Chains A and B, each alone.
Chain A
Amino acid sequence: MDILPILATLRRHKVILWLLMLEIALSCAIICNGVFLIAQRLQHMDIPSGVAEHELVQIQQAPIVPPPDRYARAQEDLAMLRQIPGVRAVGMSNQVPFGGSSSNGNVMLSPTQPHPTLSAAEYFGENLVQTLGLHLIAGRTLRTDEYVDADVVIRALADGSSEGFPMPMLVSQALAVRLWPQQNPLGKLIWLAPTASFRVVGVVETLARANAYNTATAQYSMIIPLHMGADKDQSYLLRTRPEDRPRVLAAAVAALKRADPARVIMHSRSFDQIRSDYFQDDQAMAGMLVSVIVAVLLVTGLGIVGLASFWVAQRRKQIGIRRALGATRIDILHYFQTENFLIVTFGIVIGMLLAYGLSLWLMMHYELPHLPGIYFPVGALALWIIGQLAVLGPALRAAAVPPVVATRSV
């Protein structure tokens, strides 16, 4: 197909041409960045937790007056929960991945360091590795005889005493790699306070934080063998088969209420629920972005339909003359399709620049990474397709113009 005559014609319709090109350029910029934003959200929603997500349920009690014997109470509760049919493991934790409310500690690599190296999630609680289904990749898990009552540690910290330290701990692989790159983390020491040292005895593959906003630090976690007792902020965690979750959850809540009718249960939910609660904003935003992109494509498509129809109507006579001079219907069809392809391509070229500018602006205001090159063809492809679809109707109508039109005066 000869494109020179098309270009010559377009040069005589500069205003409409520029309008179309700018509209396509703007659409292109929005689509490229929009698809990238969606991908970012989906990627964020996909952060691995490291736990057996489909097998876990959480029960959290409301902060009421702690029982005088909270350690004994916790052990009684755990023993009772273990009796529920279908329960494979029972644990207790001060936080859960994506739970929202987090407990974090400042990690130091020496007791005299003026500023902490980083902040990492502190998981305290019972039987966490087995209940959460964590994957131990080095060292060993925590032994029952290594657990200490939280009060003992807090008192020692308050007195500035280093008795009982270093305590054993597990760290996540991400934390180990960050603190000791290319070294064996087993046996290494860290400090959470000048007198409180901890020795790494095992490494778990993945364990996300409760407030995993930032992908870079989302997996910095430590597990410390502390008995926390039945107190506020503590959750009972139960692991079961996926299909047993609703039944086990109901039975566990009933059992806890039976043991102490004054309890108020704050949360009783599956881990799937925790994840979807935590990421609901991202989900909503991704949904909104998808609808914006669809709407942009639709509006742009309708605009192309409108203008192409106008052009066809305006050029009825020329089309008739071309047909009378021997052009086939296919020639006319191809003419309008090629014309549309050219306009969309010009628009896309401007759109790429615009998309790049928009991505720079987004980087400045929304702490987003650079728009990867892969997203440019996505926008281009979408617009080429929508352009061809939109022009098809008017182009077919143009192709249907009979040659006899050329001989009529109007």
Chain B
Amino acid sequence: MLGYYLDLALRSLKRNKVLTALMVLAIAVGIGASMTTLTVMHLLSGDPLPGKSAHLFYAQVDAAPDAKKREPYDVLDYQSAMDLWSAKRADRQTLIADSQIKVHAPQANQPPLMLMMLSTTADFFPMFDVPFQYGRGWSAEDDATHARVAVISADLNNKLFGGTDSTGRSLRLRDSDVRIVGVLKPWRPSPQFYNVAGGRFSEGQTAAFYTKPEDVFTPLGSGLEINGDNFQPFTCWGRPSMPLHLQSAPCVWIGLWVQLDDAARVAGYRRFLEDYVAQQKALGRITRSDTRLRDLMQWLDFNGVVPRDVRLQTWLAFAFLAICLFNTVGLLLAKFLRRSGEIGVRRALGASRAAVFAQCLTEAGMIGLIGGVAGWLLTLAGLWLVRRQPTPYADMVHLDPGMFLATFALAVATSLLAGLLPAMLAARVAPALQLKTL
């Protein structure tokens, strides 16, 4: 039966090519617009570490002396960060702070580069499942001794060493030589989740959270010794002395991530944070007692990482799809009702209402499928346009298999939805009346 319906649908579509083209076009542009924005949205709002994100937490305490009612600062001061980190009360814990630095490879014959460097601790790599191409991360002992070691990105390794195994070679960071101990595989988390902070102050302009990870990773202590005065504070509650010595400055600038593998450990860590603040209050160093421990996705949510314009574009695209849907409903209705005579004959020859309904829906579905193909091409064109925008996430934008299937699913679903009402009305055509007018 379905074969027959498909045949009928095809004939009907061929009969009035302009109307068919109009319907296909309406579905295609609607699908193209909404799938383009949906793909970007999917890419930007996804879980950067599926399966693991629920065990990663961002810890906050606030050492600022003011008493204003507000959320704690997004990052920590040096003292609190070091105290919490060295207490080792979580399954894993890492500190992060980044800075801009001049990088030069003595062996590679290239001018110095200005790159971003992440100064962190040994747990960073296993905690965030960072993939290695060569070598490995550094050890806890390297953290303690401020060893002159570094891990570099695949990009930088390609640029400086032509993609060969560069572990053991040396790299000049500003004026210090460090030994490369590891080279990452291409790694492009979306967003650059570990560095997200301050989203609520950015008025929805959060595209910067999607920049590439840093090119150089060093132990925190080493990074500070090499490039300390180029670390930027997040904010300060007093004027820091010059030149900037962040370890003693009244500023916040370090993030603390902890991995907690079960609910009991999460509760335990919350208690630990509260106890720490209580103890520091007793010592008179901290006055504010609020602490926060959000998991990765909560933290991204809190920072509203998806840029406001991207969300607005998604809504717009779906409103546009709705208009296209109304349009298709109208056109399908026109098409089916014009064929009232034909439907009357079929009904008179014994076709049930359900059969007519199924036939009409088949035709609508076929329009959806053709519209889906055209919509898929338009989506590819739309994504190409997004890639040409000067946004930090442009390089990541592509149509993955899931979204490819979603394109067709959405197209067929839209057309079936559009066909529902016209098909119902067509199935209600009274055979006798139509036959009389023939």
Contacts and interface: CB of A to CB of B under 8 A. Distances in A.
A303 B114 contact: no
B15 interface: no
Contacts of A259: none
Contacts of A296: 320, 323
A154 B102 contact: no
Interface in A387-410: 410
A23 B323 contact: yes
A295 B242 contact: no
Contacts of B320: 30, 292, 295-296, 299
Nearest to A311: B334
B334 A306 contact: yes
B323 A302 contact: no
A288 interface: yes
B239 A310 contact: no
B205 interface: yes
Contacts of B390: 280
A27 B23 CA distance: 17
Interface centre among B22, B230, B322, B330, by most chain A C-beta atoms within 10 angstroms, is B330
Nearest to B331: A306
Nearest to B421: A15
A22 B319 CA distance: 12
The main secondary structure of chain A at its interface with chain B is helix
Nearest to B207: A281
A303 B330 contact: yes
Interface in A125-184: 150-151, 154-155, 157-158
Interface string B388-415: 0111000000000000000000000000
B323 A299 contact: yes
Given A151-B242, A295-B33, A299-B323, A281 B309 contact: yes
A22 B326 contact: yes
A295 B29 contact: yes
Interface in B297-333: 308-309, 312-313, 316-317, 319-320, 322-324, 326-327, 329-331, 333
Interface of A: 15-16, 19-20, 22-23, 26-27, 29-30, 34, 37, 62-65, 115, 150-151, 154-155, 157-158, 193, 213-214, 232, 264, 266, 280-281, 284-285, 288-289, 292, 295-296, 299-300, 302-303, 305-307, 309-310, 313-314, 366-367, 410
Interface of B: 19, 22-23, 25-26, 29-30, 33, 68, 100, 102, 112, 114, 174-175, 203-205, 207, 230, 239, 241-242, 308-309, 312-313, 316-317, 319-320, 322-324, 326-327, 329-331, 333-335, 337-338, 389-391, 421, 425, 437
Given A154-B239, A232-B230, A310-B334, 19 more contacts: A16-B330, A19-B326, A23-B330, A30-B320, A34-B316, A158-B241, A281-B391, A284-B389, A285-B313, A302-B22, A302-B327, A303-B326, A303-B330, A306-B19, A306-B22, A306-B331, A310-B337, A314-B338, A366-B204
12 contacts: A62-B102, A63-B230, A155-B241, A285-B313, A288-B313, A295-B33, A299-B323, A306-B331, A306-B334, A309-B334, A310-B337, A366-B312
